[in-house]
Each structure stands twice: as C-alpha cells, then as structure tokens.
Structure 1
Amino acid sequence: MKLYSERILALASDIPHLGSLPAPEGRARRRSPLCGSTVTTEVTLRDGRIAELAQDVKACALGQASAAIAGAALPGRNRAEIEAARDALAAMLKSNGPVPAAPFEGYEALLPARDYRNRHASILLALEAAVDAVAAAEEARARDAG
C-alpha cells in the first residue's frame, strides 16, 4: 500500500522526545475514537514557547509518523504557531490544502493519507495534544500569577 512508504515507517520508528517530563507545566492527552490511537504531550514554557517537550505515543504508523514530525518541529514554538500548523495540516488532509509551512513542512510525507479519511484523526493527534498542553501551561501560569 502506497500509504505506508519507507519514509513514513522510518519516521514512525524514530519519534523524538518520547517519555515524560519531571515537572511539566502543561499536559494533554488526545485520543482518536475511531482507531483508539492516543498521544499525550507534556511541556514546559519559556517566554510563551515550548522549552521542554515529552510525548507518549500509542498510535498507528501514521500517528507515530505525525508525532515524529511534530516532535522535531515543536520545540521553540508558541501556541499560535502550533494552532496554525494544526489547521494547515487539517486543510492539507481534508481539503487538498498546501503542506504546512516550515518548520512543519515534514508533513509532506503524509500527503498520501489524504485519500484515507479514517486516518486523519490519528494524524492530527500530535498537534492537537501539543496545542492543549501549551494552553494548559498558559492557564497554570495565569492561575499562579493571579
């Protein structure tokens, strides 16, 4: 099947930032109800940007490949940048939009997944969990400051 290219399988086998953080400021878990894939993301922030990142990925090869691409691109990004990448990835998959902009251009590897709508949710998990984790960290900081 063209969907599981060597590049996708290579990405799936080399996910950066696996594990957990000793003291995350934000944590989020996202699950795809269709396939049961889950991604949990933990972050710490510095100046509103991801300073530390950890991922726990229990997903199909496409979800793992997505987590690998996200894991490489997420450090140093703020929530708005991650939301833009998530939205661009959704548009790429669902409405033939362009590949997300740098540093998320690695999602080009998942262009063949456009034709497999039942896989889209799993592919989006890593960026959705990252957005939620950053939002949770921002909320915790606001609570602590208030």
Structure 2
Amino acid sequence: MAETDLIKLYSSRILELAADIPHLGRLDDPGATVKKRSPLCGSTVTVDLSMQDGRVSDYAQDVKACALGQAAASVIGSAIIGCTEQQIIDARDALRNMLKTDGPAPAAPFDGLEVLRPATAYKNRHASILLSIEAAAEACSKVREAHSA
C-alpha cells in the first residue's frame, strides 16, 4: 500500500468520525450484549442494545478498533436509535456488499457509511469496518429471540 493511498484512505472525514463516536460506553441493563472481534487485526466492538416496540430504544458501544472501524461505529451510533432489526440487517448486508463488490452504499439512515467506500480495495480492513453493524444485528436477534421465548 503506497503512502498516498493510505492518506486517501484516512480522509479527514473518516478521522473526524473516528474522533466523535456517539453512544460510547455500556448500558446498565441492556436487552442484549454482543462482542465481536476481528481475528485479522484484533479490533473489538462490544454492543449493548435494547429494543421497544420493534425498534432500538437504547444503544451503547465499546469500540477498540482502527480509525476505519471507529468511523463505521460513529455512523452506526448516530443512526441506530429508532431503527428496526430489518433496517440494521439491510444496512449490514449493504455495507458488506459495498466493501466486497463495490455495491451501493447502505440506505438512510445508514447512508453515512458511504464515507468508507475507499476501503473497498483494502480487504484486510473490511472485518473491522463491519464489527459494529454485525454486533448490532446480532444483538437485535438476541432481543427478538428472548421476547419470543
């Protein structure tokens, strides 16, 4: 990876997002907690999530990731309150498709993930970028399963 490619990848917008991650921390009494780790780089994200009436009502995240993973967590943290499980799954799938096949960016309210499009060429970064949205989708599933049990 050339130095100029790295500079482009870590744009000022990505660094701004990484420096200002909403909902950092942990919830006292979450509906579900999911911890995800990228084996390739060691990034970890722990998501605490609660739902009410089928929508995310409370959210917190503990993010220990590279700037790209932090930027993704920032966009997700800004958009997730009020979302349904299906919106989160759709965003996860769209983000994965955007990174792996240069597909379209996720739809609103997760359209801010478009900023991560330059990372498509860096497959070793994809897992870190996907951690927060994957953890959120899994947490929604756990809440749903707990309520249907």
Q: Distance in 2 between matches of 1:134 and 1:42?
A: 10
- Do residues 59 (structure 1) and 57 (structure 2) align? no
- Do residues 25 (structure 1) and 31 (structure 2) align? yes
**Which segments of 5 or more consecutive residues in structure 1 lack a partner in the other structure?**
none
Q: Partner letter of residue 37 of structure 2? A: R
TM-score, normalising length: structure 1 = 0.95
TM-score, normalising length: structure 2 = 0.94
Q: Partner letter of residue 86 of structure 2? A: A
Q: Distance in 2 between matches of 1:61 and 1:22?
A: 27
The Cα shift of 1:142 comes to 2.1
Match of 2:118? Answer: 112
- Do residues 36 (structure 1) and 70 (structure 2) align? no
- Do residues 95 (structure 1) and 101 (structure 2) align? yes
Match of 2:81? Answer: 75
> Which ranges of 4 or more aligned residues in structure 1 deviate by more than 4 Å?
none
Q: Distance in 1 between matches of 2:34 and 2:140?
A: 9
Write out per-residue CA displacement over residues 106-144 of structure 1, whole angstroms, 9 at most, x where no aligned residue.
01111110110110010001100001111111122223x
Match of 2:132? Answer: 126
The Cα shift of 1:35 comes to 0.3
Q: Partner letter of residue 73 of structure 2? A: A
Aligned length: 143
Write out per-residue CA displacement over residues 24-61 of structure 1, whole angstroms, 9 at most, x where no aligned residue.
01111111010010111111111111000000000000
- Percentage of pairs with the same residue: 57
Match of 1:139? Answer: 145
Q: Are 1:27 and 1:137, in contact at CA under 8 Å, matched by a contact in 2?
A: no
